[in-house]
Structure 1
Amino acid sequence: MAQVDTAPTQPASEEKPEDREASKSVSPLRGLLPFFRPYRHLVLGAVFALFFTAAMSLILPLTVRIVIDGLNEKGLAEIDEYFVGALIIMGLLALGTGLRFYIVTRLGERVVADIRMAVYNKVIGMSPAFYEKILTGEVLSRLTTDTTLILSVVGSSISVALRNTLLFLGGILFMTVTSAKLAGMVLLLVPVVLLPILGLGRKLRRLSRINQDAIAASSGEASETLLAAQTVQAYSHEDASRGHFDALTETAFNAARRRIYIRSLLTVVVIFLIFTGICTVLWMGARDVRAGNMSVGELVQFLIYSVMVAGAVAALSEIWGELQRAAGATERLIELIEAEDVIKDPEHPVPAPDPAKGELAFRDVTFRYPARPDVAALDNLSLRIAPGETVALVGPSGAGKSTIFQLLMRFFDPSAGDITLDGIPLHHMLRDEMRRSFALVPQDPVIFASPAIDNIRFGRPEASDAEVIAAAKAAAAHDFLTALPQGYDTYVGERGVMLSGGQKQRIAIARAILRDAPVLLLDEATSALDAASELAVQKAVEKLSKDRTTLVIAHRLATVKKADRIIVFDQGRIVAEGTHNDLVRQGGLYAELARLQFTDGELPEADLENA
C-alpha cells in the first residue's frame, strides 16, 4: 500500500516585500546592544580611539593658524617647532585611526558572528509550524545578506558616524570660539541641510526594506527550485522558474535603482548646500580680514573647521542611509531571534525515562495542522502500544498515519488529548531528552553533504567506526559502501546525489540502527529497496524490533503480515485493528486495500490470507 500522508511543508502564505512593515527609524539598531555587552572592553577601546582621533583632528587647525599668524612675527626656530608639533599630532592621528580601525573591525566581525550563531541556534530548533510561514531560503538570506549588511555598518559605518558627529560638534564649538558671527551663519545653514536628509531619508528606509525583502524572496525561490532541480527539469518547468526568479530579481533591482537614485539626489543636494554655505562664509570672512576684525590665520582656521563640519554633515548624510538599511536588517534578524515557537519545553520538565521501556499511548487525541485548521488529521484517537510490540499503520493517503509520527516526535502538539511515553506526557519532558527514545526512518531519507560514515554516525555522534560499520552491515549497506571510491569516507554530495534511492534508504536505516533507541519509527523504510536488499533489511529490522517498540508505516505485505498488530486508519480515525488474517476475514477497508494493492484485485479473500 504505497500510501503516505505527510505534514504540509510549504508556506501557508507567502509575504510580498511590499506587505512587510518598513523600519520607521534607526531605533531597531538597539536590538544589537545585547550582542555588544560581552565585549565592553572592545567597545570602550573603540570609544577611546574615536575620541582620541577626533581630538587630534580638531587640534590640527589650531596649529595651522599659529603657523600662519607667526610667519611674520616668529623666528625660524619657533616655526620649526610648530611644524614638528604638527607632525607629532598627525602621527598620533594616524596611530589612533589605525587602532580605531582594528578594534572596530574586530568588534564588528565578532558581533556579526554571534548574531549568525544566535539566529541559526534559534531557527534550527523551531518546530515545522514555523516553516509553514517562512521559506527556508528567506531564513538563509537573513543569515547571509542581512548579517553582511550589519557587518558593514557595525565594522565601519557606526564608527564613522560617531567620529563625524564628534567632528561636527567639536568643529562648531571651535568655529564659535574663532568667530561667533561666522559660526552663527553656519548654524543657520544646518537646518537647510538637514531638511532634505530627513525628508528623503523616509523614502530611503522604505526602498531599502523592499530591496532587502525582494532579495530574500528571490533567494527563497532559488533555494526551493535548485533543491528540486530534477523535478523542475522533469516537468519542463525551467522557463517558468526562470521567469518567476527573474521577476523577483527585477523587483529587487528596481527597488535598489530607486534607492540609489534617492541617495544620489540626496548627495547632490547636500553637497551643493554645504559648499554654497562655505563660499558664503568665506566671502564674509574675507571682508572681516580686510576690515581688520580677524587675522588671516583665524580665517584659515575657521575655513578648515567649516570644511571639517561640512565633510562631517556630508558623511552623516551618506551613512544615514546605511544605518537605515542596517536597521531594517536588524529588525528582520531580531524577528527570527525573538520568534515564538508554538512547541515549547516545559518550565519545570519531568525527567525522560532512561532507558525508556517504549510504552506509547494516545488518549483522546485530536489534531489539526496549522495550515489546515478546518480538517482534523486525527479525530479523538485513542491507542496504546505495549513495550516491544511491532505495530503496522495502514490506510489511504491522508488517513493520519504519518501524523502519528509527527506527534510522537513532538514536531506538533495535539489540539486535544495527551500522548505519553512510559506513562509520562510528552509535553512534560524536554524535547531533546524525549526524542532520544526515538529513531526515525522517514520515507524520503535525508542525506547530508558529507562522507557516508558521517551520515550514519549522525544517529549517534559518539559512535566508533566499528559501531558505524556494524550498523551498516545490519542495514545491508556495507557492500555498496565499501565499493565506493573512498569506501565509507566517500563524499556523497548534496542530499546524497551520488547515491541511488535504495542506497539512501539503507544509510537512513543504518543511522536508526546505530541510534539504538527504545522506539523505532519506520515510514515506508523499505519502499525504495530492491527485493534482495529489502529481504536483508527486513531481517535486520526484525532482529532490531525484538528488543524495542516498532511502529511501521508500510505497504509491503511481508512487513504487514509479520506485525504483532495492524492498525487501519481512515480520515483520522482507527477503523479496524488486528492481525493480517483477522482483518482480511473481517472484510472492510483493510481487505479492500490488500486486494487492490497487494494482489491487483485478482485474488479472493482466502488466497489473501496466505499471500
Structure 2
Amino acid sequence: MRASKGELNHLKFGLYHRYEALLEPCRRAEAKHTIVSATMLGCHWFVIYGSYALSFWYSIGLVQESRVSGGHYSPSIIMVVFFNVFMGALSLANIAPFVESFNCARSAAVDIFEVIERKSKLDPLSQDGLRPTTVTGHLEFHDVKFEYPSRCDVPVLQGLSLKVQPGQTVAIVGSSGCGKSTCIQLLQRFYDPSQGKVTLDSVDVRSLNIGWLRDQIGVVGQEPVLFATTIEENIRYGRDGISFEDVVAAAKQANAHDFVMKLPQQYQTEVGDRGTQMSGGQKQRLAIARVLVKKPKVLLLDEATSALDNQSESVVQAALDEARQGRTTIIVAHRLTTIRSADVIVALKDGRAEEMGTHDELMAKRGLYHSLVTAQLNSAATPSYDVFPLNEEDQTLLLWKLLDMVRGEWLYIALGVLGSVIAGSTYPAFAVVIGDVLGVR
C-alpha cells in the first residue's frame, strides 16, 4: 500500500510539473505582452499630459509677452484655442477603438455573408414540386445512405431500410451518433440522401414541393421555441386562419388548457422571450398544442421529453400519446421507458437497422435493444448534495482567507493604490491650475 501510495503521489506531482512546464511558454509570452501594453499605455498618457504641460508653458509665455508689448493674447483666448485643439485631437484619437471594432466586424462578416449569399439546393420558398391532394402517411426509407456535407468522410446512415404504415407509431433508438435525428431531418428535407430515397405515400420526397411537404409534418423537439407574445398567438403560429375555439381545442388535447386557465390573463398571458415565463413542461405542452392545431398527417417527436423532470415528463408524455392518435408518428427517444407502447421499435447501429419489433419481442431477443434498456435501468442515480447556508461569520472568515492568499502581492497592490490616488488627483490639480490661469482664485 505504501508503494502504491508513493507511486500515486509521484504520478500526481509528475503531472503537475509537466503541466506547469507546458504553461511556462504561455506565461512568458503573456508577461512580454503585458510589459509592451503597459509601456504603450504609459507613453500614450505621457504624450497627452506632456502636451498639456508644454501648451500651458508656451501659452504663459505668450500672455506675459502680450502684456508687455500690448499683444492680443489673453488667458481667455489661450483657453479657447487650447480646448478646441485638444478636444478635437481627443475626438480623433477616440476613433481608433471604433476602427478596430469595424475591422473585426468586417473579418467576422466574411463567413456571415458567405452563408447569406450561398444559394441552397433546397429552397423552402420554391413553388416547384408535386402537391398531392391526399396524404395517408405511409413512409419508407429505401436503402438510404447519408453523410453530412461538412463531414463527407463520416457515413451516418449506411443502407437504412424502414417502412412505416399509415397511423403507425415507430420509435427509433440507438447510441449517440447512430443516425436517429438524421432520419427526422431527411423526412423534413433539410438534407437529401446521397444514395437511396425517402418516400411519402410511395412518392419520393425530392419530387414534392418542400413547403407543402413540411405543412404535412408536425415536429416536437427537445427545446421548444416560443415567441415573446401571448399563449394564444404562440398556438396560432401553427396554422393561419384558425379560430379561438381551434386554439382551445388544441390546448385541451395537449393537456395545456387547465394550467392556462389558472393564469391571471389565461390565453392572453405573455410567455416572455423564448418562453422564459413558462416552465419546461408548460413550454413543451404549448409546443404540442401548436403542432396539433396544424393537424399534421405525420408527427415527428425528437427527444421531446428528454429535458424534463419526471413529473413534467409524465404530463407531457400523456399529451404526446394523445397527439399521436390517428397519425403516422416517428419517435426519437433517449428515455426508453417512454416508447414501450410503440407499434414498432427500430434499434439503429452504425447507420443500419439492427433490430425491429415490439418492446417485448426485442427484450426477448436480448440483443442491442435489450442492452440499451438494461444499461439505462442500471445507470447510477444522480447523487444528491446537501446545501448549507453561509452565515455572516463564514463570510468574514472567507474574506480573511482571500486576503491571506494575496499576501505575497501586497507590494503590487500598494503601488496600484498609490498610482490610482495620483491619477485621481490630477483632475483636481488641473482645476486649480485653470483657476490660477483665469484668475478666479
TM-score, with structure 1 as normaliser: 0.43
Residue 275 (structure 2) aligns with: 496
Residues 352-403 of structure 1 deviation map (CA, whole Å, 9 limit, x = unaligned) = 3333100111112111112221111111111111111100111111111000
Partners of 2:252 and 2:132 lie apart in 1 by: 30
Shift of 1:533: 4.6
* Residue 517 of structure 1 pairs with residue 296 of structure 2: yes
**1:418 aligned onto 2:197:** yes
- Secondary structure of 1:515's aligned partner: coil
Larger proportion of helix: 1
Counterpart residue number, 2:240: 461
**In the superposition, relative to structure 1, how do residues 488 and 217 fare at CA in structure 2: closer, same or farther (>3 Å)?**
farther
Matches of residues 90-489 of structure 1 in structure 2 within 5 Å? Answer: 212=102, 214-215=104-105, 338-344=117-123, 349-489=128-268
8 Å contact from structure 2 (residues 141, 161) kept in 1:
yes
Closer, same or farther: CA 550–523 of 1 in aligned 2, 3 Å: same
Residues 399, 572 of structure 1: 8 Å contact kept: yes
- AA aligned to 1:477 is A
SS at match of 2:172: strand
Give, as a single letter, the amino acid of the residue that structure 2 aligns with 1:441: V
Counterpart of 2:78? none
Distance apart, 1:543 and its partner CA? 3.3
CA deviation string 1:140-166 (max 9, x = no partner)? xxxxxxxxxxxxxxxxxxxxxxxxxxx
Please say if residues 231 and 269 of structure 2, whose CA atoms lie closer than 8 Å, have aligned partners that are also in contact: yes
In the alignment, the residues of structure 1 paired with residue 358 and residue 283 of structure 2 have an alpha-carbon distance, to the nearest angstrom, of: 31
- Contact persistence 1:362–1:382 (CA under 8 A): yes
Task: Give the letter aligned to residue 399 of structure 1.
Answer: C
Report deviation, 1:537.
3.6
Task: Classify the secondary structure of the residue corresponding to 1:495.
Answer: helix
1: CA distance, partners of 2:125 / 2:380: 50
Shift of 1:601: 8.9
Q: Distance in 1 between matches of 2:171 and 2:367?
A: 17
Change (3 A) 1:430 1:596: same
Partners of 1:528 and 1:405 in 2: CA distance: 18
For residue 494 of structure 1, report the CA deviation from its aligned partner: 1.6
In the TM superposition, residue 347 of structure 1 has moved relative to its aligned partner by 8.4
**1:508 to 2:287 alignment:** yes
1:545 shift after superposition: 2.2
1 or 2 for the larger relative contact order (CA 8 Å, sep ≥6)?
1
Structure 1 residue matching 2:251: 3-state secondary structure: helix
8 Å contact from structure 1 (residues 524, 554) kept in 2? yes
Distance of 1:543 and 1:505 partners within structure 2: 14
Following TM superposition, by how much is the alpha carbon of 1:339 offset from its aligned partner in structure 2, in angstroms?
2.6
- 8 Å Cα contact 1:502-1:528 kept in structure 2: no
Deviations 1:39-75 (A, max 9, x none): xxxxxxxxxxxxxxxxxxxxxxxxxxxxxxxxxxxxx
Three-state SS of the structure 2 residue aligned to 1:439 is strand
Give the secondary structure class of the aligned counterpart of 2:373. Answer: helix
The Cα offsets for residues 204-252 of structure 1, whole Å up to 9 and x where unpaired, read as xxxx99865623667x8xxxxxxxxxxxxxxxxxxxxxxxxxxxxxxxx
**One-letter amino acid of the structure 2 residue matched with residue 515 of structure 1:** K
Instruction: Give the fraction of aligned pairs with identical amino acids, expressed as a percent.
Output: 45
Taking only aligned residues, the RMSD between alpha carbons, in angstroms, comes to 3.1
Q: 2:369 & 2:322 partners in 1: Cα distance?
A: 27
User: 2:235 touches 2:293 (CA, 8 Å); kept in 1?
Assistant: yes
Report Cα offsets for 1:536-557 as digits up to 9, x if no partner: 4434433332311000112344
State the AA in 1 paired with 2:295: D
Give 3-state SS (helix, strand or coil) of 1:215's partner. Answer: helix
d(CA) in 2 for partners of 1:213, 1:365: 45
* Structure 1: gaps (5+ residues): 1-207, 221-327, 603-611
Q: State the AA in 1 paired with 2:143.
A: D
2:137 counterpart letter in structure 1: G
Query: Are 2:254 and 2:322, in contact at CA under 8 Å, matched by a contact in 1?
Result: no
Equivalent position SS for 1:555: coil
Partner amino acid, structure 1, of 2:142? R
Q: Give 1:512 deviation, angstroms.
A: 1.3
Q: 1:409, 1:435 within 8 Å by CA — same for their partners in 2?
A: yes
Amino acid at match of 1:546: Q
- Total equivalences in the alignment: 285
Distance change in 2, residues 1:338/1:215 (3 Å):
closer
Q: Which whole-Å CA distance do the structure 1 matches of 2:224 and 2:265 have between them?
A: 22
Map 1:520-559 onto structure 2 (within 5 A): 520-531=299-310, 533-559=312-338
1:346/1:430 contact within 8 Å kept: no
Kindly indicate whether the alpha-carbon contact (under 8 Å) linking 1:358 and 1:549 is maintained by their aligned counterparts in 2. Answer: yes
Shift of 1:337: 6.3
CA pair 529-211 structure 1, distance change in 2 beyond 3 A? closer
- Residue aligned with 2:293, SS: helix
Q: Secondary structure at the match of 2:149?
A: coil
**Aligned equivalent of 2:16:** none
